[in-house]
């Protein structure tokens, strides 16, 4: 017998140990997410993938699929809350899309398009955050960090380097670089690292290749992020 649960009325098969979002992706159903990446253990922090499981809200990236559960995802109420999370992410950082190399390939931007975010709604924080251009090949623009921790997980679990960490709490949380100077140049970070290629937004950028792909041909110009359950970024 195949285990199944229902997601917005559809029957979704799953295997033992799979989370709701893993089973949904395998079935080709998109659930909005930012800090989740199928190659890594879930972090459960961005809350974009929140769904209702038997009437109670839960992160679909950490909630195990169970037979017979009733899951709601694409509803007005949940999408309204997801949009508000996005608006808070946009005003907390400095997300100036017209000048960002990641524009058109950015999961934050594409998810905001998907959820029809027409304005940031809240007052802008305009936080002061420094850029780290110390590394010869890579640039860190902390203005765009959404604290998804994917670079932290990639550097720790795949590269075994621990180059990145999240520091501070609440609104003072920030991404830091594990060097006495705090600078990327003083770490063993390199372009072959998984951490160099995992950022869903425009923080970790390879230098001297920006804007190589013209507008109209970037990842999310042609099709919305929902068209592929987990987006595969174009090589830039």
Partner 1 sequence: MNEPAQPKLRVATTSLAGCFGCHTSFLDIDERLLELLKHIEFDRSPLTDIKHCGPCDIGIIEGGVCNAENVHVLREFRANCKILIAIGACAINGGLPAQRNHLSLAEVLEEVYHAQHGLVDGFIPNDPELPLPLDKVHPLHEVVKIDYFIPGCPPSADAIWKVLTDLLDGREPELGHDLIHYD
Residue 224 binds partner 1, judged by CB under 8 A: yes
Stretch near partner 1 under the rule CB under 8 A, chosen from 26-34, 57-65, 89-97, 172-180 = 89-97
Residue 184 binds partner 1, judged by CB under 8 A: no
> For residue 147, what are the CA distances in angstroms to 22, 31, 43?
22, 19, 11
Residue 83 binds partner 1, judged by CB under 8 A: no
| Nearer CB in complex with partner 1: 94/149 | 94
| 3-class DSSP assignment, residue 178 | coil
Residue 216 binds partner 1, judged by CB under 8 A: no
| Interface with partner 1 (CB under 8 A), residue from 16, 123, 192, 235 | 123
| Nearer CB in complex with partner 1: 60/109 | 109
Per DSSP, 64 falls in state B
| Interface with partner 1 (CB under 8 A), residue from 118, 170, 180, 208 | 118
* Cβ-based neighbours of 170, under 8 Å, separated by 6 or more: none
| Phi-psi group of 162: left, alpha or beta (phi > 0 → left; psi -120 to 50 → alpha; rest → beta) | left
Residue 109 binds partner 1, judged by CB under 8 A: yes
| Residue 101 · residue 211 · CB < 8 Å | yes
- The Cα 5–Cα 10 span in angstroms is 8
| Residue 186 · residue 135 · CB < 8 Å | no
| Interface with partner 1 (CB under 8 A), residue from 17, 56, 76, 128 | 128
Closest approach of partner 1 to the CB of residue 117, in Å: 8
| Nearer CB in complex with partner 1: 41/234 | 234
> Which stretches of 50-199 are assigned E, i.e. beta strand?
50-53, 56-59, 70-72, 131-132, 138-141, 164-167, 174-177
Closest approach of partner 1 to the CB of residue 112, in Å: 7
List residues binding partner 1 (CB under 8 A). 90, 95-100, 103-104, 109, 112-114, 116, 118-121, 123-124, 126, 128, 215, 223-224
């Amino acid at each position: 017998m195949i285990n199944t649960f229902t997601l917005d009325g559809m029957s979704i098969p799953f295997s033992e140990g799979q989370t709701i979002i893993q089973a949904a992706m395998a079935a080709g159903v998109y659930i909005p997410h930012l800090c989740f990446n199928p190659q890594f253990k879930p972090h459960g922090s961005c809350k974009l993938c929140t769904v209702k499981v038997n009437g109670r809200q839960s992160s679909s990236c950490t909630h195990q699929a169970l037979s017979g559960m009733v899951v709601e995802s694409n509803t007005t109420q949940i999408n309204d809350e997801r949009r508000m999370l996005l608006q808070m992410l946009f005003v907390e950082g400095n997300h100036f899309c017209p000048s960002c190399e990641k524009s058109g390939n950015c999961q934050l931007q594409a998810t905001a398009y998907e959820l029809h975010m027409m304005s940031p709604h809240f007052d802008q924080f305009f936080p002061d955050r420094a850029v780290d251009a110390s590394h010869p090949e890579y640039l860190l623009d902390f203005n765009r960090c959404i604290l998804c921790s994917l670079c932290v997980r990639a550097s720790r679990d795949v590269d075994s380097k621990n180059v990145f960490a999240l520091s501070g709490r609440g609104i003072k949380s920030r991404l830091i670089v594990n060097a006495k100077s705090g600078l990327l140049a003083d770490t063993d970070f390199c372009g072959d690292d998984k951490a160099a290629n995992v950022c869903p937004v425009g923080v970790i950028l390879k230098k001297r290749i920006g804007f190589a792909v013209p507008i109209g041909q970037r990842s999310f110009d042609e099709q919305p992020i929902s068209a592929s359950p987990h987006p595969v970024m174009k090589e830039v």
